[in-house]
Structure 1
Amino acid sequence: MTASDTGPALRLSVVVPSYDAGPQVRRLLRCLALCQLDAGDSLEVIVVDDGSTDGTGELLADLELPYPLTYVFLPRTAASGRAAARNAGIGKATGDVVVLADADQIVAPGFVAAHARYHRLRGDLVVAGPRGDLGPGRIDDERLAREFSLEALPAVVGWDGRDRVLAAFSQNFNNLATSWHYAFSCNLSVRREHLLAVGGFDEGFLGWGLEDSELGYRLHRRGLAFAFHPGALAYQRKREVTPEMFGQWRRNLDHFVDKHGGVAEVAVQQVICRAFDPADRSLDWLDCMIRMEFAVRALAGRLPEPSAYELVEVDDATASATLARLPELAAERDLVVIDDTAGAVLAGPVQCVTTPRELLYFHRPSAAARQGILARHRLA
């Protein structure tokens, strides 16, 4: 039992938009049927069919599932899109927590429970999980219907990039000034009350990109904290940004910036064009993310970095005592927390701490990485 396992039972609603992805969403529903829930938790799934013509409804009708499934069909119009479809699903959801997933994803058995455990730590939290990018090759649907196994999937050829951002700064997602940008709706959860309070997704975003980041920005402005749970694992075929997708992303960025009055911390996302534009790509994606993070930190007065951090080292014997003192410590000084517990006991609580100070977190870094952390923050 860790700090992430305790707390009241939760009702979880997984919302899945789908367009001409019948076989893929059928696979996802079977994977969700294998998900383990903590005692007392319950699950429902809402599939919003965004005007498909591939017989998605018929493909799902004969499934026997251990959870309630709601199927919603929306006629296809010029205003159709993922934002509108997700809003329709959120409107049908009855759970305390809404978990967002894409139709073509494959989720590990711990996916739902990982989201739920972090939401038990704090009532105003946005929880993100990693997406593994699958290479070419066959997916064994029949095996996945019986059991989750990486052997049933093509090789994982990379991750969604947030792992690289966290490695560049720290594993405290909430310490990023740009955490809201990474609220990727392929693997995201928020309490339904907060989604409704901010009005859900902006349906003015059409095509590919940024409707989820803009929702993340409004949740950030509402005061929610952001946490990344590496155990909320999902997998998806690797996608390349095409010229058409980049054009949609660029138009959506203009809409995002205009909607928020050209505020600098939103407009700075334009640096990403240098990684996404198929005709340019003069910067690596991570280079763009690092520049964007430092720019937003500068706007918030968080640069230069503190000249002195205090080191907090935790193991299984000292975790409970440190947890009790963590909010007080984080309020008083800039911390580097190195967590040597087997179960990353402090990962969730650290990301749930609200503090005006810098709060960096690292779980079981290698000896070389630890030396680098200490040297970089002048703790060696």
Structure 2
Amino acid sequence: MAIRYSVIVPTFNRAEQLLLTLVSFDRVTYAKDQFEIIVVDDGSTDGTQALVEGFQTAVPLSYLCNDVQRGRSVTRNLGLRHAKGLYVVFCDADFLVLPEFFQVLDDCHRAYPRTVLSGIPFSWNDAYTHFYPDFSSDEKQMCRDVLTKVGLWNDEFERSDHIIPLLTPDDLINQTDRLSQLLIPEKIDPNVRKQFAKRDVAPWLKLITRCVSIKRSYLTRVGGFNEQFVKYGLEDWDLGYRLHRKKIRFHSIKQVLGYHQEHPHIYRGEDGNLENLRILFRSNGFKDPELNLLAIMPAWNDVETYKHTLRVIRRGMRSRSERTTSLLTRRTLQIAAKQLVQGKRPETYKRSLRSIRNKLRASKKKGQSAQLLSTILEKCTNIVDG
């Protein structure tokens, strides 16, 4: 029988969390011969291989590894090359799936064919499955607050030099209510969730690899992840954007599929957003304002402003009276992106910006598009001036 889902789980030194993730997949209410789990180890040194190879399950479970740490893109592509399923599910090693996980995916794939299904933003909530000595002071305080409210805090936690489990495999196997006690109050602003769920502009932002299901043939068509991305950040949006350019749609699943296991922020690795943004531009060009806008209004900092700006540009392009202003805005964004990547020709770009500013003044326009262009010109000037 053909496998329907290939679950690719990249990991690096997350053995404690990975164990619970594997247990959660073992507990799903779905035929065990209809999905496979491929754990791809990016050079762990914490016994991950022994954990995976010793894990007892009826689910087909494979272990692959890189000899040295090579980054999330290379790691996921290694798993993709071994995947057999009709659909590929990218799932983080710290994501606990709920029992109905695959049934929900089935229902949504039938309802939304030719679509990337994302657990974002409705499966963005976190749970404290472990207490870490590496938590920052603020992270320890937040954990203490959550656990104290349900009577699970112990002052000995803060004196420990090792990771303390708060949720055990037995808790998941026996379906106790322990997980519900460890849930962290919602940290994501409701307006942020709302913007990620919307599909009118930049729907590819939904491709966040915590939990996403994609037809394997689509991934093959675009060549998988761009392996130039090594540091943390943007490799998933780059993939989403390339799928978007192939007219693949995106849909946010409006049900909770699971919970992220909270861990120290430092475990993400080195943040490479600026360096990776340059890779994003070099790989995809400078023609699309959805990408160019990231140079001055990063969506990872403020998705509301980012999407609102794109909507103003789009409306302006459809309006005869505002089209010229919107075209100037697009040109300004292109200058910002090129300068960020190339770091050259500042005098040429400065002349271009002066010309755009003069045209804006000459037009004497005061509408929303003109106000936006004025703001973007100021931000772009800061980039060009260095």
Which category describes the TM-score, using the shorter chain as reference length?
0.5 to 0.7
User: Contact between 2:206 and 2:250, CA under 8 Å: does it hold in 1?
Assistant: no
Is residue 219 from structure 1 mapped to residue 243 from structure 2 by the alignment? yes
Which letter maps to 2:95? Q
Q: Secondary structure at the match of 1:47?
A: strand
Is residue 256 from structure 1 mapped to residue 316 from structure 2 by the alignment? no
In 2, Cα distance between equivalents of 1:41 and 1:64: 15
User: Contact between 1:31 and 1:144, CA under 8 Å: does it hold in 2?
Assistant: no
User: Contact between 1:10 and 1:116, CA under 8 Å: does it hold in 2?
Assistant: no
Deviation at 1:159, TM superposition (A): 5.4
User: Contact between 1:111 and 1:231, CA under 8 Å: does it hold in 2?
Assistant: no
In 2, Cα distance between equivalents of 1:190 and 1:241: 28
Which letter maps to 1:117? D
The 3 A distance-change label for structure 1 pair 133 and 176 is: farther
User: Contact between 1:131 and 1:159, CA under 8 Å: does it hold in 2?
Assistant: no
Range moving further from structure 2, 184-193 or 68-77: 68-77
Deviation at 1:82, TM superposition (A): 0.8
Gaps of 5+ in 1: 1-8, 277-284, 306-380
Range moving further from structure 2, 44-53 or 175-184: 175-184
Aligned to 1:331: none
Q: Secondary structure at the match of 1:227?
A: strand
Aligned to 1:27: 20
Q: Secondary structure at the match of 1:63?
A: coil
In 1, Cα distance between equivalents of 2:66 and 2:78: 9
Deviation at 1:254, TM superposition (A): 1.8
Aligned to 1:54: 46
Is residue 93 from structure 1 mapped to residue 120 from structure 2 by the alignment? no
Instruction: Trace 1:268-279 onto structure 2 (pairs within 5 A).
Output: 268-271=293-296, 273=298
User: Contact between 1:201 and 1:211, CA under 8 Å: does it hold in 2?
Assistant: yes
Aligned to 2:292: 267
In 2, Cα distance between equivalents of 1:40 and 1:108: 15
Q: Secondary structure at the match of 2:186?
A: strand
Range moving further from structure 2, 110-119 or 137-146: 137-146
Deviation at 1:241, TM superposition (A): 6.3
Deviation at 1:62, TM superposition (A): 2.2
Aligned to 1:229: 253
Gaps of 5+ in 2: 129-142, 148-164, 320-386
Aligned to 1:289: 303
Equivalent residue for 1:180, pick from 204, 209, 229? 204
Q: Secondary structure at the match of 1:52?
A: coil
Deviations, residues 258-290 of structure 1 (Å, cap 9, x unaligned)? 2221232112123555x86xxxxxxxx5xx212
The number of residues matched between the two structures is 279
Deviation at 1:51, TM superposition (A): 1.1
Aligned to 1:346: none
In 2, Cα distance between equivalents of 1:302 and 1:115: 38
Q: Secondary structure at the match of 1:123?
A: coil
Deviations, residues 181-228 of structure 1 (Å, cap 9, x unaligned)? 221101111000001100101111121111001111111111111111
Q: Secondary structure at the match of 1:120?
A: helix
User: Contact between 1:128 and 1:227, CA under 8 Å: does it hold in 2?
Assistant: yes
Deviation at 1:133, TM superposition (A): 2.1
In 1, Cα distance between equivalents of 2:90 and 2:80: 9
User: Contact between 2:3 and 2:36, CA under 8 Å: does it hold in 1?
Assistant: no
* Larger CA Rg, structure 1 vs 2: 2
Aligned to 1:167: 194
User: Contact between 1:34 and 1:148, CA under 8 Å: does it hold in 2?
Assistant: no
The 3 A distance-change label for structure 1 pair 241 and 64 is: closer
User: Contact between 1:181 and 1:214, CA under 8 Å: does it hold in 2?
Assistant: no
Equivalent residue for 1:82, pick from 72, 78, 86? 72
Deviation at 1:249, TM superposition (A): 1.4
The 3 A distance-change label for structure 1 pair 265 and 186 is: same
Instruction: Trace 1:53-72 onto structure 2 (pairs within 5 A).
Output: 53-72=45-64
Deviations, residues 327-380 of structure 1 (Å, cap 9, x unaligned)? xxxxxxxxxxxxxxxxxxxxxxxxxxxxxxxxxxxxxxxxxxxxxxxxxxxxxx
The 3 A distance-change label for structure 1 pair 29 and 256 is: same
Aligned to 1:154: 182
The 3 A distance-change label for structure 1 pair 221 and 270 is: same
Is residue 36 from structure 1 mapped to residue 29 from structure 2 by the alignment? yes
Range moving further from structure 2, 180-189 or 232-241: 232-241
Which letter maps to 2:29? Q
TM-score by length of 1: 0.66
TM-score by length of 2: 0.65
In 1, Cα distance between equivalents of 2:62 and 2:102: 18
Which letter maps to 1:269? L
Q: Secondary structure at the match of 2:279?
A: helix
- Which one has a larger percent strand, Structure 1 or Structure 2? 1
In 2, Cα distance between equivalents of 1:209 and 1:56: 23
Q: Secondary structure at the match of 1:156?
A: coil
- Which one has a larger percent helix, Structure 1 or Structure 2? 2
User: Contact between 1:131 and 1:233, CA under 8 Å: does it hold in 2?
Assistant: no
In 2, Cα distance between equivalents of 1:266 and 1:85: 25
